[in-house]
Amino acid sequence: MAETLLALEGVRAGYGGAAVVLDGVSLEVREGESLALLGRNGAGKSTLILTLMGFTELVGGALRWRGADIGRLAPHLRARRGLGWVPQERDIFASLTVEENLTVARREKDRAGSPGRWNLEAAYGLFPRLAQRRAAMGSHLSGGERQMLAIARALLTNPALLLLDEPLEGLAPVVVDELALGIERMTREEGMTLILVEQHADIALPLTQQAIILERGVVVHRAPSAELARDAAALERYIGVNLRPA
C-alpha cells in the first residue's frame, strides 16, 4: 500500500481569535493519489490549503507529513519537506522571462536527494505554449499562460505533493481545456500526488481519484471521484448548480 504523505486529524484552524474556519477536518492523501476539494464559495477550501502551507492559526488537531507533526512548522520548512503550492493569485515574477521564472525556482533533486522528475524539458513538454514563450516577460503573458507558468514553476521544485488552488478560475474555456489536459497528464501519466481545489465538479472529478466536499469548514461528504460524479443528489445537495458553462 502507498505511503500516507499527508494526514489531517481533527484540524481546527482559522485567522486568529474566534475566527475558526475549519472545524474538525480529517483526511488522508497517499503517495500517487489525487484529491478534489469541492464546496461552495466560503466553504473553507482555500483556508484548508493555506492551513496546509502554514499561513493560518492551527488551534486544534494535528497535521502530519509522512507521520511527523508539522502543525507548527514554518511555511518555508513545509516547502522543503515537499509541499508545493500554486496560489490563486499565481504570483509569477512579472519582470522575469518565462524561463527565468522557471530556473529561479528549479531544484535539481527531490527531497530524498534523487534526481527530480521535473526539469525545464519536462515543464515545456507539459505546457508546450511555455516553450514557445520562453523569452517573453511575465508581464506580457495572458492569464492562461501565467497559470501554466505558476504550475510549471511549482513543479520545478520537485514537490512530493502539489496543491492547486482554483487554477482554472476566470480562464477562457479553451485555456481551461489546455490546463486540464496538463493536470490530467500530471496525475495519470506522472503519478503526481495532488490536491485540486475547484469550483466546478464536472472539471475536478474526472481529473482526480478521490473527492471531499467541505461545507462551513466541515467535511460533509467523501467518496471516490468517479462515484461522486454519478451521484447527482449529493452534488445538488452539497454544491448546488455549479456546472461548467457550456
The CATH homologous superfamily of the domain defined by 1-82+199-246: P-loop containing nucleotide triphosphate hydrolases (3.40.50.300)
DSSP string, 136-177: SBGGG--HHHHHHHHHHHHHTT--SEEEEESTTTT--HHHHH
| pTM for the model | 0.91
pLDDT single digits (tens) 119-158? 999 999 999 999 999 999 999 999 999 999 999 999 999 9
Instruction: Give the separation between CA 32 and CA 123, rounded to whole angstroms.
Output: 19
* Domain locations along the chain: 1-82+199-246
Check if the beta carbon of residue 85 is closer than 8 Å to that of residue 49: yes
Whole-number pLDDT of residue 245 = 46
Q: Grid coordinates standing for 23? A: 472545524
pLDDT single digits (tens) 4-61? 999 999 999 999 766 899 999 999 999 999 999 999 999 999 999 999 999 999 999 9
